[in-house]
Amino acid sequence: MLDMLAAPLRLSIRRASAVLLAGCPWLLITPSASALENLALKLPVADITITAKVSELSSPDALWAGSSDLAELNRATDGNYARIIQELFDTPLPKPPADGIPDAPMAQEIEVLLKQLIDVDPGNTQVITRDPVQAGLKVAVARGGPLTLLSLLQSIPGKSITIRLDRAMPFIRRRARDAQEIDQLIEGLAKLPAAPADQLRAGAQAIQTSLVKVPVPGSSEILEVTVVRPQGAPTLPAVVISHGLWDAPESFLGWAQHLASHGAPVFLPRHSGSDINEQAAMLAGHAPPPDPKEFLRRPMDVRAVLDALDAGAIPQAKGITSRQATFIGHSWGATTALQLAGARSLPAQVWQACGVLNNPNSNISWVLQCTFLKAATDSSMADGRIARLVAVSPPQGLVFAAGLGDLSIPVMLVSGSRDWVVPTRPEALVPYGKYPKGISPLVLVEGGTHFNLPAKASSNGGPLRALLLSWVQGKGLDKAAAVADPNGLGLRLVAQP
């Protein structure tokens, strides 16, 4: 091994280690037919491979006593390499749900994480997609012990996986730092009280669901809209729910069903080009981003729904108008909500960061926000028919860096404390300080991720159901508001700076 390193690179083992710790290499893991077993450290500056075994990563002692090239390199550097390796592979992953069974939202979250850290061979692209990730999670949880990056990789079958240390270590350290900061913040915030039982359970009204087609003015597009409404006369204003990037209305039918059972007619447009199976890949930079013009088309989709209501063009919504409507958006849909509330994309110095590779201040959502800027306009897209909004996990810190002061109606901002995709500090706490004072609350969901806040059909409506219902009913939100699910995730009200 020493000769192999010295001849092509003129580096000693210590110099090679310094290059590694500076962020140049990646780890190539090659499993057996059943699971990942062997590991190799590969330097991109030359055709050099340093072999290792996944079993050697179980502890610093295991690596110190190992027989691989990586173990030899670790001994030659007095154990320095072991500390870096353990920091990465001992990274704790999100805890499974209360029943101990990893669910689809958890698999989505881990998929996004892995795609930040891992490259896969072209012929092995399915190894870290949702189904094998969820299967690997189930195996890792069943084994017992802490759920870590190492225990997960030991449970996922595949041919080869490349872990990029140049991306992995900064990402993991930033995530750990942000999580600690949010945990400290949560400690100083009182939980919002539990909602009354009648707000948590389904309402008295039977509901009906239908699919309609709505033309989009000024284009040839026909918008598909899911309508979920009470069978009797609505007692609450109309609600429009907008899904995120490559998601679909189906992910939010639990919200819609809960609101409709309490009297609200709900309309869920399907934004063209959306596909839930592609979301994680794009956010991690492994798939092409959407057409930037979609940033401007989405508000037009919402306006098409409101126009159709006012024109009586939806037979299933006879007598329902857009007057005093509530708009609810998740992820990109929440960015659309902010546009419709008057947020503008005013030029800002931070936009220059989109051209900086490995910018230390970036987060996963910048992959999407940087595409927005190509179509961004400093004009207001506010729609006066919307009375209030809910923005759940919106990418906003970059695209609206200088334009959030123009929000003209109440916006309830919601962020999950464990959201890796649209993290709380840069995409909720910092932007919230720029919101107009006194009209828009920020709710921090303890343990909330980017994927466990929405609710699909036949659910109980998810952890936000009473909070959303209260807002749709026109109620305000203060520290005494009883809107939390006592059996769900804690809700914390954040004071505006």
The pLDDT of residue 323 is 93
Q: Which residues of 318-351 are buried (b: 16+ CB within 10 A; e: fewer)?
A: eebebeebbbbbbbbbbbbbbbbbbbbbbeeeeb
Instruction: Summarize the confidence of residues 224-252 as an average pLDDT.
Output: 95
Choice among 32-46, 59-73, 120-134, 340-354 with the minimum mean pLDDT: 32-46
Which helix (H) or strand (E) is 72 found in, with range? Answer: helix 69-76
Higher pLDDT, 10 or 88: 88
Q: Could you give the 3-state DSSP secondary structure of residue 497?
A: coil
Residue 461 backbone class (left: φ over 0; alpha: ψ -120 to 50; beta: rest): left
Chain mean pLDDT for the chain:
84
Task: Please choose, from the candidates 380, 227, 236, 390, the residue with its C-alpha nearest in 3D space to the C-alpha of residue 309.
Answer: 227
Report whether pLDDT(27) > 90. no
Distance CA 31, CA 136 (A): 14
β-strand 36-43 against 442-445: which pairing, if any?
unpaired
CA dihedral 201, 256, 445, 380 (to 10 degrees): -150
β-strand 48-53 against 118-120: which pairing, if any?
unpaired
- List, for residues 251-269, the tens digit of each pLDDT value: 999 999 999 999 999 999 9
The pLDDT of residue 18 is 37
The pLDDT of residue 396 is 98
Distance CA 338, CA 413 (A): 10
Task: Please choose, from the candidates 36, 30, 28, the residue with its C-alpha nearest in 3D space to the C-alpha of residue 58.
Answer: 36
- List, for residues 51-68, the tens digit of each pLDDT value: 767 788 877 888 888 888
Task: Please choose, from the candidates 463, 460, 340, the residue with its C-alpha nearest in 3D space to the C-alpha of residue 406.
Answer: 340
Please report, rounded to a whole number, the percentage of residues in the chain having pLDDT higher than 70.
83
The pLDDT of residue 20 is 35
The pLDDT of residue 217 is 87
- List, for residues 344-401, the tens digit of each pLDDT value: 999 999 999 998 866 777 888 998 899 999 999 999 999 999 999 999 999 999 999 9
- List, for residues 173-186, the tens digit of each pLDDT value: 888 888 899 999 99
Report whether pLDDT(22) > 60. no
Fold exhibited by the domain 197-494: Rossmann fold (3.40.50)
Please report, rounded to a whole number, the percentage of residues in the chain having pLDDT higher than 90.
52
The pLDDT of residue 276 is 61
Choice among 38-52, 96-110, 260-274 with the minimum mean pLDDT: 38-52
Region(s) of the chain under CATH 3.40.50.1820: 197-494
49, 158, 217, 240, 302 from 309: Cα distances, Å: 63, 51, 14, 11, 11
Distance CA 213, CA 215 (A): 7
Distance CA 323, CA 495 (A): 30
Distance CA 473, CA 477 (A): 11
SS3 content of the chain, % helix, strand, coil (to 5): 40, 15, 45
Report whether pLDDT(493) > 70. yes
Report whether pLDDT(245) > 70. yes
Taking a C-beta distance cutoff of 8 angstroms, is the pair 152, 188 a contact? Answer: no
- CA neighbours closer than 13 Å in the CB half-sphere of residue 171: 22
**Two tokens at 201?**
């359970």
- List, for residues 98-107, the tens digit of each pLDDT value: 777 888 888 8
At residue 65's C-alpha, the angle toward residues 151 and 6, to 5°, is 105
Distance CA 203, CA 369 (A): 38
The string of DSSP letters for 280-317 reads HHHHTTSSPPPPTTHHHHHHHHHHHHHHHHHTT--GGG
Burial class for 27, CB neighbours closer than 10 Å (0-12, 13-18, 19+): buried
Cβ neighbours of residue 115 closer than 8 Å, sequence gap 6 or more: 128, 280, 281, 283, 284, 285, 286
The pLDDT of residue 264 is 98
Higher pLDDT, 416 or 451: 416
Distance CA 166, CA 427 (A): 24
Taking a C-beta distance cutoff of 8 angstroms, is the pair 398, 405 a contact? Answer: no
Q: Identify the band that residue 112 occupies on the pLDDT scale cut at 50, 70 and 90.
A: confident
- List, for residues 462-490, the tens digit of each pLDDT value: 999 999 999 999 999 999 999 999 999 99
Q: Could you give the 3-state DSSP secondary structure of residue 23?
A: coil
Helices (H), 90-192: 104-117, 130-143, 149-153, 165-187
The pLDDT of residue 15 is 37
Choice among 154-168, 289-303, 458-472 with the minimum mean pLDDT: 154-168
Report whether pLDDT(43) > 60. no
The pLDDT of residue 310 is 95
